[in-house]
């Protein structure tokens, strides 16, 4: 039975309690990737995990999606334990994952197609419009720039109206200007439906710009080092403007202070 929170707090959409993940490669010592990881993602908020490379950030997304089970601890979505692959999550990677044999619109419609939704083309077209690709619906992957491919991925992810969104450095492979535009676009789309988002990145600007809470993870084995609420008003300023605001720099300094030691151990 999940313990009930006090009424003032919003209900936890995603909850991890004492999660530990141990990899046991054949013929080698087991690797503890994550230890005692505990946090909540409240309904409708964006929580971002930042941490040094190899701290198990992506692994946490994998256990929330049910792609792999935790070695110990509890993982819950909507108060129910995650037992297998969830079909109600939108998942984005740094790689766009576009199917090269499908056009942009067919890629966006894929999730709707396997769910048997009849008006999938209208929905997909609408989402392509929202990410600014309405003129490119008939284009194949090789005819789109990297930024456009990732915009297709954003449309594809939102089109299925996922219960929760899991983002694994989704803009990590983009050049820095395109990344700023896509972050802004993502937040703009998110503002309209406020899905619950668990985000993973090592880009601090990105984490602060997008999130309600930033979780700093330690070096491997990953543990929660600190949780920093981002009390910046929404809708947020565009990232380039926000980056020069004094309150942004205070938050940045605080998070970087926590993160620096962890990264230093690693370098």
Partner 1 sequence: MAASDTDALLIEAGAGVGVGSEPDRRRVIFARLAVLLVFLGLWQLVVAIGLVDAFWISTPALIVQELWHLLENGALVSDVAVTIYEALVAFVVSSALGIICGLLLARSPFWDDVLAPFVLALNSLPRVALAPLIILWFGIGVMAKVVTAFTLVFFILLVNTLGGAKNVDNDIITIARLMGASERDILWKVTFPSALPWIFTGLNLGLTYSLLGVIVAEILASNHGLGYLIAASAASFNTAGVFAGLITLAVVAWLFSLIMRKVEARLLRWKPSLTSA
Q: Which of 68, 99, 240, 245 binds partner 1 (CB under 8 A)?
A: 99
Kindly state whether residue 196 participates in binding partner 1, applying the rule CB under 8 A. Answer: no
Using CB under 8 A as the binding criterion, the count of chain residues that bind partner 1 stands at 32
Closer to partner 1 at the Cβ: 38 or 58?
Answer: 58
Candidates 94-102, 120-128, 173-181, 206-214; binding stretch for partner 1 (CB under 8 A): 94-102
Output the CA–CA distances (angstroms, integers) from residue 200 to 13, 48, 247, 266, in the order listed.
17, 5, 22, 18
Q: How far is the CB of 73 from partner 1 (least distance, A)?
A: 22
Residue partners of 214: CB distance under 8 A and separation at least 6: 47, 48, 49, 50, 207, 208, 227, 228, 230, 255
Q: How far is the CB of 155 from partner 1 (least distance, A)?
A: 13
Kindly state whether residue 97 participates in binding partner 1, applying the rule CB under 8 A. Answer: yes
Measured between alpha carbons, how far is 168 from 58 in angstroms, rounded to an integer? 6
Q: How far is the CB of 63 from partner 1 (least distance, A)?
A: 13
Q: How far is the CB of 119 from partner 1 (least distance, A)?
A: 17
The b/e string for 33-72 (b: 16+ C-beta within 10 A; e otherwise) is bbbebebbbbeebbbbbbbbeebbbbbbbbbbbbbeebbe
Q: How far is the CB of 36 from partner 1 (least distance, A)?
A: 27
Enumerate binding residues for partner 1 (CB under 8 A): 65, 67, 85-87, 89, 91, 93, 95, 97-103, 110-111, 113-115, 138-146, 156, 160
């Amino acid at each position: 039975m999940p313990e009930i929170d006090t009424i003032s707090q919003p209900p936890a959409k995603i909850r991890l309690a004492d999660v530990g993940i141990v990899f046991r490669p054949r013929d080698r010592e087991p690797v503890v990737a994550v230890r005692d990881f505990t946090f909540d993602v409240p309904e409708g908020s964006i929580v971002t995990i930042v941490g040094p490379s190899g701290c198990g950030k992506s692994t946490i997304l994998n256990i929330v999606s049910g792609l792999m089970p935790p070695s110990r601890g509890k993982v819950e979505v909507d108060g129910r334990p995650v037992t297998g692959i969830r079909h109600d999550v939108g998942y984005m990677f740094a790689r766009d994952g576009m199917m090269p044999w499908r056009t942009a619109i067919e890629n966006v419609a894929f999730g709707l197609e396997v769910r048997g939704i009849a008006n999938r083309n209208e929905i997909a077209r609408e989402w392509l419009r929202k990410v600014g690709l309405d003129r490119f619906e008939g284009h194949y992957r090789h005819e789109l720039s990297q930024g456009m491919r990732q915009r297709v991925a954003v449309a594809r992810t939102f089109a299925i109206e996922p219960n929760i969104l899991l983002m694994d450095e989704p803009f990590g492979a983009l050049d820095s200007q395109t990344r700023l535009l896509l972050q802004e676009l993502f937040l703009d789309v998110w503002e309209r439906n406020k899905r619950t988002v668990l985000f993973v990145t090592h880009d601090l600007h990105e984490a602060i710009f997008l999130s309600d809470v930033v979780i700093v993870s330690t070096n491997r084995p990953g543990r929660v080092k600190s949780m920093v609420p981002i009390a910046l008003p929404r809708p947020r300023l565009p990232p380039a403007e926000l980056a020069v605001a004094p309150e942004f720099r205070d938050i940045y300094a605080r998070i970087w202070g926590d993160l620096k030691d962890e990264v230093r151990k690693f370098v």
